[in-house]
Amino acid sequence: MTASSSPVPHAGRRTFLIGVPALGLLGLTACSKVPDTIRIGVAQPLSGPLKDLGQDLLDGALMAVDQLNKEGFKVAGKVVKFEIVAADDKADAGAGKAAAQQLITAGVSAVIGHLNSGVSIATAPLYAAQLIPQLAISTKPEYTQLGHPTTFRLVANDALQSKALGAFSAKLPGASVYAVVDDNTPYGKGLAELALAQLKSREKNVAVRVSLDDKGTDFGALVSEMKERKVDTLVTTLSDFQVIALTEQLLSAGVANLNIVGGDTIKTEGLLKINPAIGRIYATTPIVGASEFGGGREFVARYLAKHRHPPVYGAHYAYDAVYAIAYAAREAKGVEGAALVEALKKGDPLAPVTGSMRFNDDGEQRYGSVSVYRLQGGNWSLLTRSDVW
């Protein structure tokens, strides 16, 4: 699932080798195609505004590696160790390319990356050139339409989420005048445009259509236009901190009792701080909460014990992605790129939390769905979920 893909200023680039001492790392041996250590790259924003989401994904991958190493996972009868190699992509395409090159140089066999659609798209050719499977939580449809065999998606894409965003907004009781506002990122703008098409196909009155940016918090012009047009329903892909700022300015201008329907960038702990006087707040997301899966309760309990806080985003998807990679290595009897890619597409990997991590031939998640949550009583509550909308 994706958020902004704009640059995040931060000094320095970080690469982490996590799992075993660097001097003990071994790649493919001369006598066997099964390595002693299988390195999995995790490329996510580990600094800047999205660092909590990126760290959550990294933490989930690390938990999976710890468990597999504890179990003594075997490939072709040989016990192998798994190691995470982490790199900070800073939610930026340029930094993402640098991070991808670092992981390639480090000899990773697969990559869990990236969070942002723009970064995943920019780095895909680099991984593809080395036949390294890239398992992304990004949702922009174009990611798997690049023509690379190595692109895999962990969740449903924006085509389905846009249907959910538009269809759900169109059916809200009392909704009559709409504003559609995006953050002008590849993810946000694309999702908003598709949702807009859904609203127009249902002949809804979209009185305001605005593209802003993913950093600004001064919404004076937008507030004035929404007030003038008597907007009662806001459909937006702005981030949580922006929606909080916007609602504060709307309330100051005397605008309240709105429907606000956002993407997954507002289904955060941060939005719990919003003033409830603004109205009813909903979020669509392909990121299904860990506790809603059969294997989720145990995962959340272990995550809490280790990190002293619940998962904040997609840790469980990264956890299952590591298991999918391990399964593929076992099926391929090694980590040779073409065989690993084929095993990921043809197999039915064990997914301890989500129950299913199956990919279509184009790399799309076969059983992806989109949920709608409502912010109610200081918590996000699931309203509905569908894989068709």
For residue 309, give every residue at least 6 positions away whose Cβ sits within 8 Å of its Cβ, in sequence order, or none.
none
CATH of domain 159-285+370-386: 3.40.50.2300
d(C-alpha 306, C-alpha 363), whole Å: 32
Average pLDDT for 309-331: 96
The ranges of the chain annotated as CATH 3.40.50.2300 are 15-155+291-346, 159-285+370-386
d(C-alpha 99, C-alpha 93), whole Å: 10
Inform me whether the pLDDT recorded for 346 exceeds 80.
Answer: yes
d(C-alpha 201, C-alpha 383), whole Å: 24
Helix axes 117-129, 186-201, angle to 10 degrees: 120
Name the token pair of 324: 């999918």
Whether residue 53 contacts residue 45, with contact meaning beta carbons closer than 8 Å, is answered with: yes
pLDDT of residue 49: 84
DSSP string computed for 22-65: GGG---S-SS-SS-SEEEEEEEE--SSTTHHHHHHHHHHHHHHH
d(C-alpha 187, C-alpha 66), whole Å: 33
d(C-alpha 343, C-alpha 126), whole Å: 21
Whether residue 303 contacts residue 315, with contact meaning beta carbons closer than 8 Å, is answered with: yes
For residue 43, give every residue at least 6 positions away whose Cβ sits within 8 Å of its Cβ, in sequence order, or none.
86, 87, 89, 96, 99, 100, 103, 111, 112, 113, 114, 119, 123
Inform me whether the pLDDT recorded for 1 exceeds 60.
Answer: no
Q: What is the dihedral of CA 310, 316, 318, 320, to 10 degrees?
A: 150
pLDDT for 145-194, tens place per residue?
Answer: 999 999 999 999 999 999 999 999 999 999 999 999 999 988 899 999 99
pLDDT of residue 17: 55
pLDDT of residue 10: 35
Inform me whether the pLDDT recorded for 111 exceeds 90.
Answer: yes
Name the token pair of 131: 């036949």
What residue type is assigned to position 181 of the chain?
V
With bands split at pLDDT 50, 70 and 90, how would you rate the model's confidence at 2?
very low
pLDDT of residue 44: 98
Average pLDDT for 8-34: 45
pLDDT of residue 316: 98
Inform me whether the pLDDT recorded for 352 exceeds 70.
Answer: yes
Q: Which has the minimum average pLDDT: 10-24, 157-171, 296-310?
A: 10-24
d(C-alpha 228, C-alpha 224), whole Å: 6
pLDDT for 55-91, tens place per residue?
Answer: 999 999 999 999 999 999 999 999 999 999 999 999 9
What residue type is assigned to position 94 of the chain?
G
Name the token pair of 68: 């597999």
**Residue among 115, 125, 141, 166 at smallest CA distance from 4:** 115
CATH class in words for 15-155+291-346: alpha beta
Beta pairing class for 233-236 and 258-262: parallel
Inform me whether the pLDDT recorded for 18 exceeds 80.
Answer: no
Average pLDDT for 114-129: 97
pLDDT of residue 5: 38
Which helix (H) or strand (E) element contains residue 379? strand 379-386
Name the token pair of 166: 């538009």
Inform me whether the pLDDT recorded for 16 exceeds 90.
Answer: no
pLDDT of residue 100: 98
Average pLDDT for 300-322: 96
Beta pairing class for 37-44 and 74-75: unpaired
pLDDT for 254-272, tens place per residue?
Answer: 999 999 999 988 998 889 9
